[in-house]
A and B are shown apart, each in its own frame.
Chain A
Amino acid sequence: MSARHGSRTRMFVRMLIRASLVQRGRAASALMAVVVAATVATAMMTLYVDVQAKLRKEFRSYGANIVVVATEGRSLPSDALASVERTLNGRGLAVPFAYAVARTKGGAPIVVAGTDFERAKRLNSWWSISSRQPAAAASQQQALVGTKASKAIGDGPEFALTFDGREHQFSSSGTLRTGASEDSRVYIDLPEFEKWTGVAPSTIEIAASGTPTEIDATLRSLAASLPGAEVRPVRQIVEGEARVLGKTRAALLAAIAIIIFTAILCVLATLTAWVLDRRRDFAIMKALGASETLINSFFAAEAAALGAVGAIAGFALGLGVAAWIGQANFHSAVQPRWSVFPAVLAGSIAVALISAVLPISMLRRVQPATILRGE
Protein backbone atom coordinates (compact mmCIF):
# COMPACT_ATOMS: atom_id res chain seq x y z
CA MET A 1 0.00 0.00 0.00
CA SER A 2 2.73 2.41 0.98
CA ALA A 3 4.80 1.42 -2.04
CA ARG A 4 1.85 2.19 -4.23
CA HIS A 5 1.38 5.47 -2.47
CA GLY A 6 5.06 6.29 -3.03
CA SER A 7 4.91 5.56 -6.72
CA ARG A 8 1.85 7.72 -7.05
CA THR A 9 3.65 10.63 -5.45
CA ARG A 10 6.62 10.06 -7.72
CA MET A 11 4.35 10.01 -10.73
CA PHE A 12 2.71 13.25 -9.59
CA VAL A 13 6.07 15.00 -9.22
CA ARG A 14 7.25 13.60 -12.55
CA MET A 15 4.17 14.91 -14.29
CA LEU A 16 4.65 18.31 -12.73
CA ILE A 17 8.27 18.59 -13.85
CA ARG A 18 7.79 17.11 -17.31
CA ALA A 19 4.79 19.36 -17.95
CA SER A 20 6.94 22.44 -17.66
CA LEU A 21 9.95 20.92 -19.42
CA VAL A 22 8.20 19.55 -22.50
CA GLN A 23 6.25 22.68 -23.30
CA ARG A 24 9.05 24.98 -22.36
CA GLY A 25 7.89 27.93 -24.45
CA ARG A 26 4.40 28.01 -23.00
CA ALA A 27 5.54 27.57 -19.41
CA ALA A 28 8.16 30.27 -19.91
CA SER A 29 5.65 32.82 -21.20
CA ALA A 30 3.30 32.09 -18.30
CA LEU A 31 6.21 32.41 -15.90
CA MET A 32 7.25 35.67 -17.50
CA ALA A 33 3.82 37.17 -16.88
CA VAL A 34 4.06 36.28 -13.19
CA VAL A 35 7.64 37.61 -12.97
CA VAL A 36 6.69 40.93 -14.59
CA ALA A 37 3.73 41.39 -12.26
CA ALA A 38 5.78 40.48 -9.17
CA THR A 39 8.61 42.80 -10.27
CA VAL A 40 6.27 45.73 -10.75
CA ALA A 41 4.46 45.06 -7.47
CA THR A 42 7.72 44.77 -5.50
CA ALA A 43 9.28 47.85 -7.06
CA MET A 44 6.19 49.99 -6.51
CA MET A 45 5.55 48.89 -2.94
CA THR A 46 9.21 49.31 -1.94
CA LEU A 47 9.25 52.72 -3.53
CA TYR A 48 6.02 53.76 -1.88
CA VAL A 49 7.36 52.93 1.58
CA ASP A 50 10.71 54.62 0.99
CA VAL A 51 9.71 57.63 -1.04
CA GLN A 52 8.37 59.49 1.99
CA ALA A 53 11.70 59.50 3.74
CA LYS A 54 13.45 60.46 0.51
CA LEU A 55 11.12 63.37 -0.20
CA ARG A 56 11.29 64.54 3.42
CA LYS A 57 15.01 64.96 2.97
CA GLU A 58 14.37 67.13 -0.08
CA PHE A 59 11.92 69.23 1.90
CA ARG A 60 14.59 69.97 4.50
CA SER A 61 16.18 72.26 1.91
CA TYR A 62 13.39 74.71 2.81
CA GLY A 63 15.34 75.37 6.00
CA ALA A 64 14.23 75.57 9.60
CA ASN A 65 10.96 73.99 10.65
CA ILE A 66 11.34 74.92 14.32
CA VAL A 67 12.49 78.20 15.84
CA VAL A 68 13.51 78.90 19.39
CA VAL A 69 13.13 82.58 20.28
CA ALA A 70 14.05 84.25 23.55
CA THR A 71 11.27 86.18 25.26
CA GLU A 72 11.15 89.77 24.14
CA GLY A 73 14.29 91.83 24.48
CA ARG A 74 16.36 89.14 26.16
CA SER A 75 18.95 86.61 25.06
CA LEU A 76 18.84 82.86 25.30
CA PRO A 77 20.77 81.24 28.15
CA SER A 78 24.38 80.54 27.19
CA ASP A 79 23.87 76.76 27.25
CA ALA A 80 20.77 76.93 25.00
CA LEU A 81 22.53 75.73 21.85
CA ALA A 82 24.17 72.83 23.67
CA SER A 83 20.84 71.88 25.18
CA VAL A 84 19.11 72.01 21.78
CA GLU A 85 21.81 69.84 20.26
CA ARG A 86 21.46 67.32 23.07
CA THR A 87 17.72 67.11 22.38
CA LEU A 88 18.20 66.79 18.63
CA ASN A 89 20.81 64.10 19.13
CA GLY A 90 22.17 64.39 15.59
CA ARG A 91 18.73 64.28 13.95
CA GLY A 92 18.80 67.83 12.71
CA LEU A 93 20.73 71.04 12.41
CA ALA A 94 20.61 73.98 14.85
CA VAL A 95 21.94 77.42 13.97
CA PRO A 96 22.21 80.30 16.48
CA PHE A 97 21.50 83.89 15.45
CA ALA A 98 22.20 87.06 17.44
CA TYR A 99 20.95 90.45 16.29
CA ALA A 100 21.85 94.06 17.05
CA VAL A 101 21.07 97.38 15.40
CA ALA A 102 24.29 99.22 14.55
CA ARG A 103 24.82 102.47 12.66
CA THR A 104 26.66 103.11 9.43
CA LYS A 105 29.11 105.98 8.90
CA GLY A 106 26.20 108.01 7.58
CA GLY A 107 24.23 107.32 10.74
CA ALA A 108 21.62 105.03 9.17
CA PRO A 109 20.48 102.09 11.32
CA ILE A 110 21.42 98.65 10.05
CA VAL A 111 20.81 95.20 11.46
CA VAL A 112 23.95 93.20 12.19
CA ALA A 113 23.58 89.49 12.79
CA GLY A 114 26.07 87.09 14.32
CA THR A 115 25.93 83.46 13.30
CA ASP A 116 27.88 80.32 12.57
CA PHE A 117 28.49 80.70 8.81
CA GLU A 118 29.11 77.06 8.02
CA ARG A 119 25.89 75.95 9.67
CA ALA A 120 23.84 78.86 8.34
CA LYS A 121 24.88 78.03 4.78
CA ARG A 122 23.94 74.40 5.28
CA LEU A 123 20.57 75.30 6.81
CA ASN A 124 19.66 77.96 4.27
CA SER A 125 20.74 76.34 1.03
CA TRP A 126 18.91 79.03 -0.95
CA TRP A 127 21.28 81.79 0.21
CA SER A 128 22.91 83.07 -2.93
CA ILE A 129 26.38 84.29 -2.01
CA SER A 130 28.61 86.00 -4.53
CA SER A 131 31.95 85.99 -2.80
CA ARG A 132 34.72 88.38 -3.52
CA GLN A 133 38.42 87.99 -2.87
CA PRO A 134 39.14 88.61 0.80
CA ALA A 135 40.78 91.99 1.30
CA ALA A 136 44.42 92.19 2.26
CA ALA A 137 44.31 92.69 5.99
CA ALA A 138 43.46 89.40 7.61
CA SER A 139 43.05 91.10 10.96
CA GLN A 140 39.85 92.72 9.75
CA GLN A 141 36.57 91.04 10.46
CA GLN A 142 35.06 89.31 7.45
CA ALA A 143 31.40 90.14 6.88
CA LEU A 144 28.70 88.86 4.56
CA VAL A 145 26.69 91.84 3.37
CA GLY A 146 23.11 91.70 2.11
CA THR A 147 22.50 93.26 -1.33
CA LYS A 148 20.44 96.15 0.05
CA ALA A 149 22.80 96.64 2.97
CA SER A 150 25.77 96.85 0.62
CA LYS A 151 24.26 99.95 -0.98
CA ALA A 152 23.85 101.59 2.43
CA ILE A 153 27.37 101.00 3.69
CA GLY A 154 29.14 102.53 0.71
CA ASP A 155 31.25 101.36 -2.18
CA GLY A 156 34.51 99.91 -0.93
CA PRO A 157 35.00 96.41 0.40
CA GLU A 158 35.93 97.89 3.78
CA PHE A 159 33.47 99.63 6.03
CA ALA A 160 32.94 100.60 9.64
CA LEU A 161 29.89 100.15 11.85
CA THR A 162 29.21 101.62 15.26
CA PHE A 163 27.35 99.91 18.04
CA ASP A 164 26.88 101.63 21.38
CA GLY A 165 29.73 104.02 20.64
CA ARG A 166 32.16 101.24 19.73
CA GLU A 167 33.33 101.36 16.12
CA HIS A 168 34.37 98.18 14.37
CA GLN A 169 36.11 97.71 11.01
CA PHE A 170 34.79 95.11 8.59
CA SER A 171 35.82 93.79 5.25
CA SER A 172 33.12 92.44 2.97
CA SER A 173 33.77 88.84 1.95
CA GLY A 174 30.72 88.58 -0.26
CA THR A 175 27.20 89.70 -1.04
CA LEU A 176 24.16 87.82 0.18
CA ARG A 177 20.94 87.69 -1.80
CA THR A 178 17.74 86.06 -0.52
CA GLY A 179 14.88 88.36 -1.48
CA ALA A 180 13.81 88.60 2.17
CA SER A 181 14.89 90.55 5.25
CA GLU A 182 18.42 89.04 5.12
CA ASP A 183 19.13 91.38 2.20
CA SER A 184 19.18 94.36 4.55
CA ARG A 185 21.55 92.83 7.08
CA VAL A 186 25.26 92.36 7.66
CA TYR A 187 26.26 88.89 8.85
CA ILE A 188 29.41 88.33 10.87
CA ASP A 189 30.89 85.46 12.82
CA LEU A 190 29.18 84.88 16.17
CA PRO A 191 32.23 85.03 18.55
CA GLU A 192 33.35 88.32 16.98
CA PHE A 193 29.81 89.63 17.22
CA GLU A 194 29.56 88.82 20.92
CA LYS A 195 32.96 90.39 21.61
CA TRP A 196 31.90 93.57 19.81
CA THR A 197 28.33 94.02 20.98
CA GLY A 198 28.13 91.88 24.10
CA VAL A 199 24.80 90.54 22.80
CA ALA A 200 24.19 86.79 23.00
CA PRO A 201 22.08 84.79 20.51
CA SER A 202 18.35 85.37 20.78
CA THR A 203 17.19 82.92 18.11
CA ILE A 204 18.04 79.34 17.24
CA GLU A 205 16.73 78.05 13.93
CA ILE A 206 16.37 74.30 13.75
CA ALA A 207 15.85 71.96 10.83
CA ALA A 208 14.65 68.80 12.55
CA SER A 209 14.35 65.69 10.41
CA GLY A 210 11.78 62.96 10.77
CA THR A 211 8.08 62.31 10.46
CA PRO A 212 5.52 64.87 11.73
CA THR A 213 5.08 62.90 14.96
CA GLU A 214 8.84 62.80 15.54
CA ILE A 215 9.10 66.53 14.90
CA ASP A 216 6.21 67.10 17.30
CA ALA A 217 8.02 65.11 19.96
CA THR A 218 11.22 67.11 19.32
CA LEU A 219 9.21 70.29 19.65
CA ARG A 220 7.78 69.23 22.99
CA SER A 221 11.08 68.11 24.49
CA LEU A 222 12.72 71.33 23.28
CA ALA A 223 10.03 73.37 24.99
CA ALA A 224 10.56 71.35 28.17
CA SER A 225 14.34 71.83 28.14
CA LEU A 226 14.17 75.58 27.44
CA PRO A 227 11.55 76.96 29.81
CA GLY A 228 12.60 80.60 29.32
CA ALA A 229 12.17 80.61 25.56
CA GLU A 230 9.41 80.30 23.05
CA VAL A 231 9.65 77.17 20.88
CA ARG A 232 7.38 77.13 17.88
CA PRO A 233 7.03 75.32 14.57
CA VAL A 234 7.39 77.28 11.34
CA ARG A 235 3.87 76.78 10.08
CA GLN A 236 4.69 77.78 6.53
CA ILE A 237 7.27 74.99 6.23
CA VAL A 238 5.44 72.33 8.22
CA GLU A 239 2.12 72.81 6.47
CA GLY A 240 3.55 73.13 2.96
CA GLU A 241 5.53 69.95 3.42
CA ALA A 242 2.58 67.99 4.76
CA ARG A 243 0.36 69.11 1.91
CA VAL A 244 2.75 68.46 -0.96
CA LEU A 245 3.94 65.19 0.51
CA GLY A 246 0.38 64.02 1.04
CA LYS A 247 -0.62 64.77 -2.55
CA THR A 248 2.48 63.13 -3.96
CA ARG A 249 1.92 60.00 -1.94
CA ALA A 250 -1.71 59.85 -2.96
CA ALA A 251 -0.84 60.24 -6.64
CA LEU A 252 1.79 57.55 -6.31
CA LEU A 253 -0.64 55.27 -4.50
CA ALA A 254 -3.24 55.66 -7.24
CA ALA A 255 -0.64 54.93 -9.90
CA ILE A 256 0.59 51.89 -7.99
CA ALA A 257 -2.91 50.53 -7.50
CA ILE A 258 -3.63 50.79 -11.22
CA ILE A 259 -0.32 49.25 -12.21
CA ILE A 260 -0.63 46.31 -9.84
CA PHE A 261 -4.26 45.74 -10.79
CA THR A 262 -3.34 45.61 -14.47
CA ALA A 263 -0.42 43.32 -13.83
CA ILE A 264 -2.72 40.93 -11.96
CA LEU A 265 -5.26 40.95 -14.80
CA CYS A 266 -2.54 40.19 -17.32
CA VAL A 267 -1.31 37.26 -15.24
CA LEU A 268 -4.87 35.98 -14.95
CA ALA A 269 -5.40 36.20 -18.71
CA THR A 270 -2.10 34.56 -19.61
CA LEU A 271 -2.38 31.74 -17.10
CA THR A 272 -6.01 31.04 -17.93
CA ALA A 273 -5.13 30.77 -21.60
CA TRP A 274 -2.26 28.48 -20.72
CA VAL A 275 -4.42 26.12 -18.69
CA LEU A 276 -7.22 26.16 -21.27
CA ASP A 277 -4.71 25.34 -23.94
CA ARG A 278 -3.87 22.19 -22.06
CA ARG A 279 -7.36 20.82 -21.95
CA ARG A 280 -6.08 17.75 -23.85
CA ASP A 281 -3.78 16.88 -20.91
CA PHE A 282 -6.79 17.30 -18.68
CA ALA A 283 -8.92 15.07 -20.87
CA ILE A 284 -6.27 12.36 -21.13
CA MET A 285 -5.80 12.30 -17.37
CA LYS A 286 -9.52 12.05 -16.90
CA ALA A 287 -9.83 9.35 -19.56
CA LEU A 288 -7.09 7.35 -17.88
CA GLY A 289 -9.16 7.38 -14.71
CA ALA A 290 -7.64 10.18 -12.63
CA SER A 291 -9.91 11.43 -9.90
CA GLU A 292 -11.18 14.99 -9.83
CA THR A 293 -9.13 15.73 -6.69
CA LEU A 294 -5.97 14.48 -8.34
CA ILE A 295 -6.47 16.65 -11.42
CA ASN A 296 -7.35 19.65 -9.33
CA SER A 297 -4.33 19.20 -7.09
CA PHE A 298 -2.12 18.67 -10.16
CA PHE A 299 -3.11 21.95 -11.75
CA ALA A 300 -3.14 23.73 -8.39
CA ALA A 301 0.36 22.48 -7.51
CA GLU A 302 1.59 23.57 -10.90
CA ALA A 303 0.06 27.02 -10.50
CA ALA A 304 1.41 27.41 -6.97
CA ALA A 305 4.91 26.44 -8.08
CA LEU A 306 4.70 28.92 -10.95
CA GLY A 307 3.49 31.65 -8.60
CA ALA A 308 6.25 30.97 -6.09
CA VAL A 309 9.07 30.86 -8.63
CA GLY A 310 7.71 33.96 -10.35
CA ALA A 311 7.42 35.80 -7.04
CA ILE A 312 11.01 35.06 -6.01
CA ALA A 313 12.45 36.11 -9.36
CA GLY A 314 10.14 39.13 -9.51
CA PHE A 315 11.04 40.22 -5.98
CA ALA A 316 14.74 40.24 -6.81
CA LEU A 317 14.16 42.14 -10.06
CA GLY A 318 11.73 44.53 -8.37
CA LEU A 319 14.30 45.49 -5.74
CA GLY A 320 16.68 46.24 -8.58
CA VAL A 321 14.12 48.46 -10.32
CA ALA A 322 13.33 50.32 -7.08
CA ALA A 323 17.03 50.82 -6.38
CA TRP A 324 17.53 52.16 -9.89
CA ILE A 325 14.65 54.63 -9.55
CA GLY A 326 16.01 55.78 -6.18
CA GLN A 327 19.47 56.23 -7.63
CA ALA A 328 18.26 58.03 -10.73
CA ASN A 329 15.92 60.45 -8.97
CA PHE A 330 17.19 60.88 -5.43
CA HIS A 331 20.84 59.88 -5.84
CA SER A 332 20.58 57.46 -2.97
CA ALA A 333 19.61 53.80 -3.06
CA VAL A 334 16.20 52.64 -1.93
CA GLN A 335 16.48 50.25 1.00
CA PRO A 336 15.18 46.75 0.24
CA ARG A 337 12.04 46.06 2.24
CA TRP A 338 11.83 42.39 3.17
CA SER A 339 8.38 42.95 4.62
CA VAL A 340 7.12 43.34 1.05
CA PHE A 341 8.17 39.80 0.16
CA PRO A 342 5.41 37.83 1.97
CA ALA A 343 2.78 40.03 0.34
CA VAL A 344 4.25 39.54 -3.12
CA LEU A 345 4.66 35.78 -2.61
CA ALA A 346 1.15 35.26 -1.27
CA GLY A 347 -0.31 37.51 -3.97
CA SER A 348 1.45 35.70 -6.80
CA ILE A 349 0.45 32.26 -5.58
CA ALA A 350 -3.15 33.36 -5.01
CA VAL A 351 -3.43 34.88 -8.48
CA ALA A 352 -1.86 31.80 -10.08
CA LEU A 353 -4.23 29.49 -8.18
CA ILE A 354 -7.28 31.49 -9.19
CA SER A 355 -6.27 31.46 -12.83
CA ALA A 356 -5.76 27.68 -12.71
CA VAL A 357 -8.95 26.81 -10.83
CA LEU A 358 -11.27 28.93 -12.99
CA PRO A 359 -10.72 27.10 -16.29
CA ILE A 360 -10.60 23.71 -14.59
CA SER A 361 -14.01 24.16 -13.07
CA MET A 362 -15.21 25.27 -16.49
CA LEU A 363 -13.84 22.08 -18.07
CA ARG A 364 -15.11 19.74 -15.39
CA ARG A 365 -18.52 19.35 -16.96
CA VAL A 366 -17.10 18.59 -20.41
CA GLN A 367 -16.73 14.94 -21.45
CA PRO A 368 -13.09 13.97 -22.04
CA ALA A 369 -14.07 12.35 -25.33
CA THR A 370 -15.35 15.69 -26.67
CA ILE A 371 -12.10 17.42 -25.91
CA LEU A 372 -9.95 14.64 -27.30
CA ARG A 373 -11.90 14.60 -30.55
CA GLY A 374 -10.87 18.21 -30.82
CA GLU A 375 -14.26 19.88 -30.62
Chain B
Amino acid sequence: MTTVEKVLGFFKEKGQQVNPDTDLFKGGYVNSLFALEIVMYLEKEFGIKFKNKDITEKNFKTVETIATTVEKYL
Protein backbone atom coordinates (compact mmCIF):
# COMPACT_ATOMS: atom_id res chain seq x y z
CA MET B 1 0.00 0.00 0.00
CA THR B 2 1.34 3.45 -0.83
CA THR B 3 1.58 6.19 1.76
CA VAL B 4 -1.26 8.06 0.05
CA GLU B 5 -3.49 4.99 0.27
CA LYS B 6 -2.71 4.57 3.95
CA VAL B 7 -3.57 8.20 4.63
CA LEU B 8 -6.80 7.83 2.68
CA GLY B 9 -7.58 4.89 4.96
CA PHE B 10 -7.95 7.31 7.85
CA PHE B 11 -10.71 9.19 6.07
CA LYS B 12 -12.41 6.02 4.98
CA GLU B 13 -12.60 4.91 8.59
CA LYS B 14 -14.29 8.21 9.43
CA GLY B 15 -16.72 7.71 6.58
CA GLN B 16 -15.45 10.72 4.64
CA GLN B 17 -14.96 10.62 0.90
CA VAL B 18 -11.88 12.56 -0.11
CA ASN B 19 -9.49 12.47 -3.03
CA PRO B 20 -5.72 12.79 -2.68
CA ASP B 21 -5.96 16.44 -3.73
CA THR B 22 -9.12 17.49 -1.88
CA ASP B 23 -8.50 20.69 0.08
CA LEU B 24 -9.20 19.48 3.60
CA PHE B 25 -9.60 22.98 4.99
CA LYS B 26 -12.07 24.17 2.39
CA GLY B 27 -14.20 21.07 2.61
CA GLY B 28 -14.77 21.54 6.33
CA TYR B 29 -12.96 18.30 7.13
CA VAL B 30 -10.51 19.96 9.44
CA ASN B 31 -11.27 20.73 13.01
CA SER B 32 -9.13 20.24 16.06
CA LEU B 33 -10.58 16.82 16.54
CA PHE B 34 -9.54 15.81 13.07
CA ALA B 35 -6.16 17.45 13.58
CA LEU B 36 -5.42 15.50 16.72
CA GLU B 37 -6.78 12.27 15.40
CA ILE B 38 -4.89 12.34 12.16
CA VAL B 39 -1.59 13.19 13.83
CA MET B 40 -2.07 10.38 16.34
CA TYR B 41 -3.20 7.98 13.62
CA LEU B 42 -0.23 8.67 11.37
CA GLU B 43 2.30 8.50 14.18
CA LYS B 44 0.94 5.14 15.24
CA GLU B 45 0.43 3.73 11.77
CA PHE B 46 3.90 4.69 10.55
CA GLY B 47 5.73 4.52 13.88
CA ILE B 48 6.98 8.10 13.57
CA LYS B 49 6.83 11.28 15.61
CA PHE B 50 6.36 14.56 13.77
CA LYS B 51 8.71 17.39 14.57
CA ASN B 52 6.94 20.58 15.61
CA LYS B 53 8.01 22.39 12.47
CA ASP B 54 6.29 19.81 10.27
CA ILE B 55 2.93 20.19 11.96
CA THR B 56 1.58 22.99 9.79
CA GLU B 57 -1.60 23.79 7.97
CA LYS B 58 0.30 23.66 4.70
CA ASN B 59 1.57 20.13 5.29
CA PHE B 60 -1.89 18.93 6.25
CA LYS B 61 -3.76 20.65 3.46
CA THR B 62 -4.43 17.55 1.33
CA VAL B 63 -3.89 13.82 1.58
CA GLU B 64 -1.01 14.24 -0.87
CA THR B 65 0.81 16.85 1.21
CA ILE B 66 0.25 14.75 4.31
CA ALA B 67 1.79 11.73 2.56
CA THR B 68 4.79 13.79 1.45
CA THR B 69 5.31 14.99 5.00
CA VAL B 70 5.08 11.45 6.36
CA GLU B 71 7.57 10.17 3.80
CA LYS B 72 10.25 12.52 5.13
CA TYR B 73 10.32 10.27 8.18
CA LEU B 74 10.35 6.90 6.46
Asked if A and B bind, the verdict is no
The residues of B with any CB-CB pair to A shorter than 8 Å are: none
